[in-house]
Chains A and B, each alone.
Chain A
Amino acid sequence: MPVVELELPRLQKLVGKTNRKKLMETLPFLGLDIESQENDNIRVEYSPNRPDYSTDLGIALGLQGLLGTKKGIPKLKIKKIGDFQIKVDSSVSKVRPFVTCIVALNGKIDDQVLKQIIVMQEDLHFGIGRRRKKSSIGIHDLDSISFPLTYTTTTRNHKFIPLNSTKENTISEILKNTEVGKDYGNILGNFPKVPIIIDSLGNTVSFPPIINSSLTTVTTKTKNLFVEVTGIDKTDVEDMLSIVATILQSAGFELCTVKISGAKNSTPQFKQRKISLKSNLVNTMLGLNLPSSKIISALKKCRLDAIAKKTNIVCTIPRYRFDIFGEMDLVEEVALGYGIENLTPTLSPPQTHGEKNKELQVLNNLSHIMVGLGFMEALNSSLTSKKLLYDLTNRDHSNIISVIDSKSEEHKILRDSLVPGLINNLSNNIHEPYPQKLFEMGTIFSKGNPINEEIHLASVSAHNDSNFSELKSFLQSALKTGFNIECKTKTSSHPTFEKGSTAEIIVNDKTFGIIGKIDSKVQENFKIRVPVFGFEIKLTGLIFD
């Protein structure tokens, strides 16, 4: 979950009419988990479906609603002053077809606001922008740009001074030499031409989705902003812009429209949606009996608008709440506005009768028998290492099943046998008193259609007097006592077990497993100094289907 840092006095000022205690108590009920607190600074986790919570400004809007200081939609007021225009050249349609923009005037950008804007931009890029692939934002100093602009493509030899640099670079150089170029250059693929925003004087404004021009750098002296979002889907770019516009307006900027035309692009409308919601659905889902008026008031506390229309409630959704898909999302909004703390749990008698799973009960019984025979239960992970599963135990690895890009060396291979894990457990316990007798029951994996999963039982016995007949009698009595199964052992060989002390486990003329003395070399590999005998037997098909 993404995290945002908040400064409590600033947040308190943004929300207005509240105190710190109330603030801290309310945050979790917006779905914001307080991860840590250090004096005035807190870190909160927000849900990826609420990118508007990537700044304190957005969080303040939510808090105002729940605390009841300001309710209903924070309406976007977009003026049509000035002549801001961007024309789109059709050449972009192959690389990054859509652009959408807004102008924000007369704002104050102090360090705090700048920091919040940068964090928001990063979070939007990472989350709904899908690492800038789907959509990306550029925020510029409006006063260094001459309108009208053109969103077009250019060759990789095109030169400009990128952000945080002092000298001109070609596009190819930027892609090769800068961090952002290396991280995001692949989004542009192998196209010879790349997207670019140029102003009327021919200056480069932005090279989306990689980097802005140094010319338009935003500082604490900047008063007016130009925001552009580019991407591969028109709705996606407008989604992202709607968040930025809402946040900038609540930061005190006046929004102005930017006229967009060409190649299927158009000026964003920030249109609100209407969804009709049945009170009945709300009440049956939440287990409440709220009148329409209460539902409407709850929705308004979630910064939505709603009016009653016969038995329905017509809810208005602001543009930036694109996380709301349908009625059920509104049921959640009602729950939040009503207050989760006000929903009291109820316990009705179940209409169903619970049933244990037969197969698991059989396994449970077997595990009790193993414990009765003096074996301690061990649990190992299914994901293990090639070293442990094959190399140290001398086993054949031609049918290895591996996972891609594991972050942990010890967890790269799916186990196809339980005995290696148990030998490893003995190896980790050589300083503990003997005898050590362990067993494990668990799933093993093998290639099939596409993967077969079977349950095995394995056990090992390690002590100075351990021997083949001891373990064989344990195995036989476990199967006999548990399931009235008679098993035989037939001379065999296995790379983990010692030649001459190894047998296959046979039930009704079918092989189900292996039993024997662990090979001395394998023991040496695991630094075990007492004799170890072990067995492994397939339970699937033996004690259940």
Chain B
Amino acid sequence: MSQVLHPIEKKIIKFLRANPNSSLTQIEKGTKLGMDQCRRGVEWLKLKNYAIVKDSEKIFVSLGENGLVAKEHGLPEYSCVPTSFDQPLSISTVRSELKSDFDPAIGIARRNGWISIGDGFITLTAKPPENESPLLQLLKFIGEKKIPISDIKNKKSLEELKNRPGYLVFESDKSKYISLTPISETIQIQEDVIVVKKKSSQFEKSDGRAIDVEADTEQIFVAKTHPLNDTINEIREIFVTLGFSEILGNQTQSSFWNFDALFTPQDHPARELQDTFYLDGIVSKKIATPKQIQQVSKVHKKGWRYFWSISEAQKMVLRTHTTCVTIKYLAENKPDEARVFSLGRVFRNEKVSYKHLVEFNQIEGIVVGKNTTLRDLMGIQREFYRRLGLNKVKFWPTFFPYTEPSLQSMVYNERLKKWVELFGMGIFRQEVTKPLGITKPVLAWGGGIERIAMLKYELDDVRELYNNNLKWLRSVSKCP
């Protein structure tokens, strides 16, 4: 038999010892437990043979309308009795006073031998007893309350009042009444066991008695790495297994690498303050080699026909994409064959909303090689999504200033029942690669990671990922 009791059970036992035969509602009130907890606790105690539950019916009585009047003004049979023998009362006066009570009142008074009737008058024949009538006593006993019928001793008066219409109202209450079994008397309840704090070991060290291995236990919050970082690491892992190596770069970049090197003209709307974060008063003196600067400015002048300004290129920005890291790598290494990726935070001057953050994570992978085609890039991407468990993928054309052709991938979201846009891809424009001395075609693909995390954790508001709401962090599953 189980001997370790749940705190709920202990509370109920304590209460029932003081209040045997209580209803669930009474237990709820007395123990301050929730109704569900009471039900559960009673059920457990029943199974352990500590409690019995009886279905019983209790009948309650309270006064009806006529009963209440009689309690205040006395019983009507007294009102029809003349006060002295020589002063008979006129029937019509009494009738108008008592109204509907007249007939029963006269009947009772005559039956009691108090009056006789003749010639339209009521004559006193015997004085009613001086003591208060037991009926009125009972009416006053009940008063305004609702009383279990078992509390009323004078059953005769009760029967009599019951026969008078509108005097008494009966209600029955069918409910379960719980009481303890004799066996429960052996239970000893320590005073502080209701607090579960670190006491469990005391119980378990018990003198050879068995423990309740089925009892509920305290919830422990598991420390975890952040779900977004888990997603990032998962994506990292997939890139590495697809043959990509990770390169790192700064989050603060000169406009040169963030924009100019990517053939984005200096008057392009994306470069405006309202889209890009510029660092106040901070410029980079040494942005690139003189040759790189000269070649990039040349291709801008030719392609976009404007005056290219170096001071514009020196302005420091918070990178708007990780492409600046990859292009810098390509310009420095000029590989014939490579698969590298850069992952990290990027910034956009946006209004924060359920779908936009000012700061989010982006990954970008590039493939440089002899026999690398757009279809290969699509294949790598489809494989990437497959490993993330996203199997329905299609591709649409799109536009990026620095790639041509450019595609975007659409992935079907089973939960939202619609296609969502995920990663973009394309082949770097020659206007980007040539000035930096990159001769091989460069295929790039990538996109925002938060979107994938939102799919994974079924979030509809991207801000959740940065709220650090402990309730969410503690409850979110490590492997959703």
Q: Give me the interface of A with B, judged by CB distance under 8 Å.
A: 28-31, 33, 47-50, 127, 130, 133-134, 233, 235-236, 284-288, 325-329, 331-332, 335-336, 340-341, 343-348, 350-357, 359-360, 364, 367-368, 370-383, 401-408, 410-411, 414, 425, 428-429, 432-433, 436-438, 443, 445, 447, 450-451, 453
Residue of B nearest to A422 (CB): B468
Q: Enumerate chain B residues within 8 angstroms of A375, measured Cβ to Cβ.
A: 223
Report how far A29 CA is from B405 CA in the complex, Å. 13
Q: From known contacts A287-B375, A347-B379, infer whether A355 and B246 are also in contact, taking CB-CB under 8 Å.
A: yes
Contacting residue for A380 out of B282, B399, B405, B466, CB 8 A: B466
Report how far A450 CA is from B253 CA in the complex, Å. 10
Is the beta-carbon distance between A347 and B397 smaller than 8 angstroms? no
Is the beta-carbon distance between A352 and B221 smaller than 8 angstroms? no
Residue of A nearest to B397 (CB): A31
22 residue pairs of the A-B complex, CB under 8 angstroms, read: A29-B397, A33-B398, A130-B269, A233-B305, A235-B305, A326-B430, A332-B397, A336-B397, A341-B395, A343-B378, A343-B395, A345-B381, A346-B379, A347-B382, A348-B379, A351-B337, A351-B339, A352-B338, A371-B223, A401-B282, A407-B350, A414-B318
Is the beta-carbon distance between A429 and B376 smaller than 8 angstroms? no
Is the beta-carbon distance between A374 and B223 smaller than 8 angstroms? yes
Q: Enumerate chain B residues within 8 angstroms of A130, measured Cβ to Cβ.
A: 267, 269
Q: Enumerate chain B residues within 8 angstroms of A134, measured Cβ to Cβ.
A: 267
Within 8 A of A (CB), among B365-380: 369, 371, 373-376, 378-380
Report how far A410 CA is from B339 CA in the complex, Å. 37
Is the beta-carbon distance between B223 and A382 smaller than 8 angstroms? no
Is the beta-carbon distance between B468 and A453 smaller than 8 angstroms? no
Residue of A nearest to B339 (CB): A352
CB distance from A135 to the nearest CB of B (A): 12
The yes or no answer to B364 lying at the interface (CB within 8 A) is: no
From DSSP, what is the main secondary structure of chain B's interface residues?
mixed
The yes or no answer to B429 lying at the interface (CB within 8 A) is: yes
Tally A-B pairs: CB < 8 A.
255
Given contacts A351-B243, A401-B279, A414-B279, 7 further A-B contacts (CB under 8 A): A31-B396, A288-B375, A345-B375, A346-B376, A411-B359, A432-B470, A433-B221
Is the beta-carbon distance between B252 and A445 smaller than 8 angstroms? yes
Contacting residue for B349 out of A359, A364, A406, CB 8 A: A406
Report how far A108 CA is from B305 CA in the complex, Å. 37
Query: Which of A370, A401, A436 lies at the interface centre, i.e. has the most chain B CB atoms within 10 A of its CB?
Result: A401
Residue of B nearest to A453 (CB): B250
Is the beta-carbon distance between A405 and B274 smaller than 8 angstroms? yes
Residue of A nearest to B467 (CB): A428
Is the beta-carbon distance between A382 and B359 smaller than 8 angstroms? yes
Q: Enumerate chain B residues within 8 angstroms of A381, measured Cβ to Cβ.
A: 357-359, 466
Q: Enumerate chain A residues within 8 angstroms of B381, measured Cβ to Cβ.
A: 345
Contacting residue for A350 out of B250, B269, B316, B339, CB 8 A: B339
Is the beta-carbon distance between A285 and B374 smaller than 8 angstroms? yes
Cβ proximity bits B395-437 to A, threshold 8 Å, 1 near / 0 not: 1111101001111000000000000010000010111000000
Is the beta-carbon distance between A354 and B339 smaller than 8 angstroms? yes
The yes or no answer to B240 lying at the interface (CB within 8 A) is: yes
Query: Which of A236, A341, A367, A382 lies at the interface centre, i.e. has the most chain B CB atoms within 10 A of its CB?
Result: A382
Report how far A451 CA is from B395 CA in the complex, Å. 39
Report how far A346 CA is from B401 CA in the complex, Å. 26
Is the beta-carbon distance between A451 and B316 smaller than 8 angstroms? yes
CB distance from A453 to the nearest CB of B (A): 5
CB distance from A410 to the nearest CB of B (A): 8
Contacting residue for A376 out of B379, B407, B470, CB 8 A: B470
Report how far A47 CA is from B406 CA in the complex, Å. 11
Query: Which of B225, B246, B350 lies at the interface centre, i.e. has the most chain A CB atoms within 10 A of its CB?
Result: B225
CB distance from B367 to the nearest CB of A (A): 9
Report how far A437 CA is from B222 CA in the complex, Å. 11
Contacting residue for A351 out of B283, B369, B406, CB 8 A: B369
Is the beta-carbon distance between A345 and B305 smaller than 8 angstroms? no
Q: Enumerate chain B residues within 8 angstroms of A453, measured Cβ to Cβ.
A: 250-252
The yes or no answer to B239 lying at the interface (CB within 8 A) is: yes
Q: From known contacts A379-B228, A411-B358, infer whether A28 and B339 are also in contact, taking CB-CB under 8 Å.
A: no
Cβ proximity bits B294-307 to A, threshold 8 Å, 1 near / 0 not: 00000000010110
The yes or no answer to B114 lying at the interface (CB within 8 A) is: no
Is the beta-carbon distance between A47 and B398 smaller than 8 angstroms? yes
Q: Enumerate chain A residues within 8 angstroms of B228, measured Cβ to Cβ.
A: 379
Is the beta-carbon distance between A344 and B375 smaller than 8 angstroms? yes
Q: Enumerate chain A residues within 8 angstroms of B318, measured Cβ to Cβ.
A: 383, 403, 414
Report how far A353 CA is from B242 CA in the complex, Å. 8
Is the beta-carbon distance between B274 and A407 smaller than 8 angstroms? yes
Is the beta-carbon distance between A354 and B242 smaller than 8 angstroms? yes
Report how far A115 CA is from B339 CA in the complex, Å. 49
Q: Enumerate chain B residues within 8 angstroms of A402, measured Cβ to Cβ.
A: 279-280
Residue of B nearest to A130 (CB): B267
Is the beta-carbon distance between A357 and B430 smaller than 8 angstroms? no
Is the beta-carbon distance between A408 and B405 smaller than 8 angstroms? no
Report how far A27 CA is from B284 CA in the complex, Å. 44
Residue of B nearest to A332 (CB): B405
Contacting residue for A357 out of B224, B248, B404, B429, CB 8 A: B248
Q: From known contacts A233-B305, A406-B358, infer whether A354 and B223 are also in contact, taking CB-CB under 8 Å.
A: no
The yes or no answer to B41 lying at the interface (CB within 8 A) is: no
Q: Enumerate chain A residues within 8 angstroms of B351, measured Cβ to Cβ.
A: 407-408
Report how far A443 CA is from B383 CA in the complex, Å. 32
Within 8 A of A (CB), among B342-365: 345, 347, 349-352, 357-359
Residue of A nearest to B277 (CB): A403
Is the beta-carbon distance between B274 and A380 smaller than 8 angstroms? no
Is the beta-carbon distance between A451 and B267 smaller than 8 angstroms? no
Q: Enumerate chain A residues within 8 angstroms of B246, measured Cβ to Cβ.
A: 355-357, 360
Q: From known contacts A328-B404, A352-B339, A354-B242, infer whether A47 and B399 are also in contact, taking CB-CB under 8 Å.
A: yes
Is the beta-carbon distance between B468 and A350 smaller than 8 angstroms? no
Q: Enumerate chain A residues within 8 angstroms of B51, measured Cβ to Cβ.
A: none
CB distance from B284 to the nearest CB of A (A): 5
Residue of B nearest to A438 (CB): B468
Is the beta-carbon distance between B279 and A331 smaller than 8 angstroms? no
Q: Enumerate chain B residues within 8 angstroms of A405, measured Cβ to Cβ.
A: 273-274, 349
Is the beta-carbon distance between A331 and B404 smaller than 8 angstroms? yes
Residue of B nearest to A371 (CB): B223
The yes or no answer to B471 lying at the interface (CB within 8 A) is: yes
Q: From known contacts A371-B224, A381-B466, A382-B251, infer whether A325 and B267 are also in contact, taking CB-CB under 8 Å.
A: no
Q: Enumerate chain A residues within 8 angstroms of B369, measured Cβ to Cβ.
A: 351
Q: Enumerate chain A residues within 8 angstroms of B282, measured Cβ to Cβ.
A: 401, 447, 450-451
Q: Enumerate chain A residues within 8 angstroms of B316, measured Cβ to Cβ.
A: 450-451
Query: Which of B349, B382, B399, B404 lies at the interface centre, i.e. has the most chain A CB atoms within 10 A of its CB?
Result: B404
Residue of A nearest to B237 (CB): A356
Report how far A408 CA is from B349 CA in the complex, Å. 8
Q: Enumerate chain A residues within 8 angstroms of B375, measured Cβ to Cβ.
A: 286-288, 343-346
CB distance from A235 to the nearest CB of B (A): 6
Report how far A445 CA is from B319 CA in the complex, Å. 14
The yes or no answer to B49 lying at the interface (CB within 8 A) is: no
Q: Enumerate chain A residues within 8 angstroms of B241, measured Cβ to Cβ.
A: 354
